[in-house]
Amino acid sequence: MNFIKRPLVFILLIGIIIRFILSAITFHPDIIHFDLAGYVLGKGNFLNFYDYTYGLDKNDPVLKNYPVNLFNYPPAVYFYVGSMNWIFTSLTEKNFHNMFLFDFKNTLGNIQLNFHLILLKIPYLLFDGAIAYFLYNIFLNKKEKILALALWVFNPWVLYSTYMMGQFDIIPTAFVVSALYIIKKNYNFNKKIFIAVVLLGIGASFKIYPLLFLLPVAFLLKKRFNKLLAIILGISVYVITILPFIGSSGFRSTALLANQTLKSLYAQIPISGGESIILFLASVGFFYIVYLYRGKEVENLWQSFFIIMLLFFIFTHYHPQWFLWLTPFLIFELIYSNFKHLILMVLMGVSFLGAVFLFEQSLTIGLFSPLNAALFDGLDLWRLLHINIDLNFARSLFQTLFASVAVYFIYYYFPKKID
């Protein structure tokens, strides 16, 4: 027992230290967006949250520094992350906090900035720890438990998106993993399926993608009525979280159907002058039909989720932080296959790095501006190296590399048995 406990303590302690260090020394501009949400909520703007900027005077410091259509994420994001930011940043000196929100460049080099960045990223630790717990307990073998924990705690994609960029994608990921964990537990089958779809609905209130998993989960149920009820329940949970803001014109114009939500629909095959086949919807629809007839094994549910995520990433120009959604399934794949496909994971990592370094400068060397103010709004890596590169073609090459690996995994985990 001591052998098991010592690695656990070591992994968790080192993991927490790494998270605090990275939180303190890295900055991405999007994190100010969430801090400002806390600032707005702290003034008592709740149901009028999305319309707040539209009613400001043009000389207000908010409009002088931010666009009027600023808040473009679902309400749950701002009401959790924003509220937590408002609570934790109350520990920051008020004048510095105002400078951070409205004159960020002048905070560079100030030791208070490092402390403030830690406070802004602390709210993610709860969900980070929850995923670590669920992954550890999903596996039965003690060595696999420790391995799953280590692969999550020291995962570069987790550290990058959450504690360097300060993005909230770890929250919906936690609800997806919790749904898988609930389904694996041994108690009333129907009850745990309905709990799982509620968790997916809550996850979708942060990012819409967990709704993609509703059908594979619902199809585990035997009765058609229960399947339909589970799907409706999951969607209803999501709808309830946005319902109070449907009357807000700001919400409807910026957050209800954000551009990011529609990116998976861009890949199409034209079949006439004005008609196309949307590749992502066609492929995921095909797999839903397969799951309806073949996806009855709880043990393979993670594979269904994995395939759906791979299809999404194949046909979507994704943001680097979104790769976190895929990470738990990559951990499942590595452990269950006994690292059989490690080389493919490396290739996925290469495609991810390529995507990151072909995005904006703030996602790479610009992240370290708290250590060196010259890195803020500085030259990107390619201009520093005097390399003239066709960014679109290079991105296409890395996306093609990812797609080739993803297609192999889809082939490998394609449901093969009919019950």
pLDDT of residue 295: 65
pLDDT of residue 156: 96
Q: Give the Cα separation of 74 and 338 in Å (integer).
A: 38
Q: Is the dihedral of CA 130, 132, 133, 134 positive or negative?
A: positive
pLDDT higher than threshold 80 for residue 296? no
Tokens 């009613």, located at residue: 55
**CA 261, CA 265: separation in Å to the nearest integer?**
9
* 275-279 mean pLDDT: 94
129: confidence class by pLDDT, cuts 50, 70, 90: very high
Per mean pLDDT, which range of 84-93, 198-207, 229-238, 250-259 is the poorest?
Answer: 250-259
In the chain, domain spans: 1-168, 257-419
Separation of alpha carbons 179 and 195, rounded Å? 8
Residues 6+ apart with CB under 8 A from 239: none
**Segment 316-325 mean pLDDT:** 92
DSSP string, 333-400: HHHHTTTTTHHHHHHHHHHHHHHHHTS-GGGTGGGGTTT-GGGTT---HHHHTT----HHHHHHHHHH
What pLDDT digit, counting tens, does each position of 67-79 carry?
998 899 999 999 9
Q: pTM of the predicted model, to two decimals?
A: 0.95
- Least confident range from 20-24, 55-59, 132-136, 363-367: namely 55-59
Cα 384 from chain centroid? Answer: 30
- What confidence category does residue 3 fall into, taking pLDDT thresholds of 50, 70 and 90? very low
